Amino acid sequence: MDDQSCSTREAAEALGICVRTAQLWVEQGRLRAWKTPGGHRRILRESVNAELRAREKECGGGAPIFDVLVVEDERIQRQILQAKVAGVSKEISVRTAYNGVEGLIKIGERQPQILITDLMMPGVDGFHLLSTLASSPLVRPMQVIVVTAMSDEEIQEKGGLPEGVVLFHKPVPIPDLLAVVRAYFNGWSLQRKTLG
């Protein structure tokens, strides 16, 4: 049965939703599943694939499904990052936000696989954005990339960055940033093929 089913976490990652949403979809019958004798949910891979096909059809066929959110208040920097990241693959969708508040709203609408954020922004800055995400039980893990003009010392004075965050100082070394995006995208693609 192992090749025909997956865990709730695997299904959530393939669908780009949080684990709690996957659990709710099982309860609603949107994803077909059963419980093992140990009480763990196993979701039919075909049910996950059907959901992916329905989403792609709804978005017009081969629509991008790997989501990247760029949160950056400098318009030119935001446009450069959006264009460069979108150029990695036609399967990548890049959304943008002007500050932390807009970023949190967009993450609430659809959680990205990768979040690229500045730290110093008007209103809610990147530090507040990251601490809000870290304290939310509904947010599934995502790769976070920080781009900033702040020095390492200034970042430490503000409390530092969460574990696992990739840091790039401005001016952003675009080839290095794209290498991180590409590696994460390739891992996601491989996982999706394994589920399929």
Q: Are residues 56 and 132 in the same domain?
A: no
Q: What is the pLDDT of residues 119-177, one digit of tens each?
A: 999 888 999 999 988 887 666 778 999 999 999 999 999 999 998 899 999 999 999 99
> Partners of 37 in the beta sheet?
none
Q: Are residues 121 and 136 in the same domain?
A: yes
Instruction: Give the mean model confidence (pLDDT) for residues 10-16.
Output: 77
Residue 60's pLDDT is what?
A: 52
Mean pLDDT, the chain, integer: 86
Q: Are residues 46 and 131 in the same domain?
A: no
Q: Are residues 81 and 46 in the same domain?
A: no
Q: Are residues 75 and 53 in the same domain?
A: no
Domain boundary among 39, 61, 83: 61
Instruction: Give the mean model confidence (pLDDT) for residues 67-91.
Output: 94
Q: How far apart are CA 45 and CA 32, in angstroms?
A: 9
Q: Are residues 72 and 18 in the same domain?
A: no
pLDDT grade, residue 95 (50/70/90)?
very high
Residue 64's pLDDT is what?
A: 45
- pLDDT for 81 beyond 60: yes
Any idea what the CATH number is for the domain that residue 151 is in? Answer: 3.40.50.2300
Domain boundary among 61, 77, 102: 61
Q: How far apart are CA 129 and CA 70, in angstroms?
A: 12
Domain boundary among 36, 61, 86: 61
Please give the residue range of the domain that contains residue 52: 2-61
Residue pair 129/103 in contact by the 8 Å Cβ criterion: yes
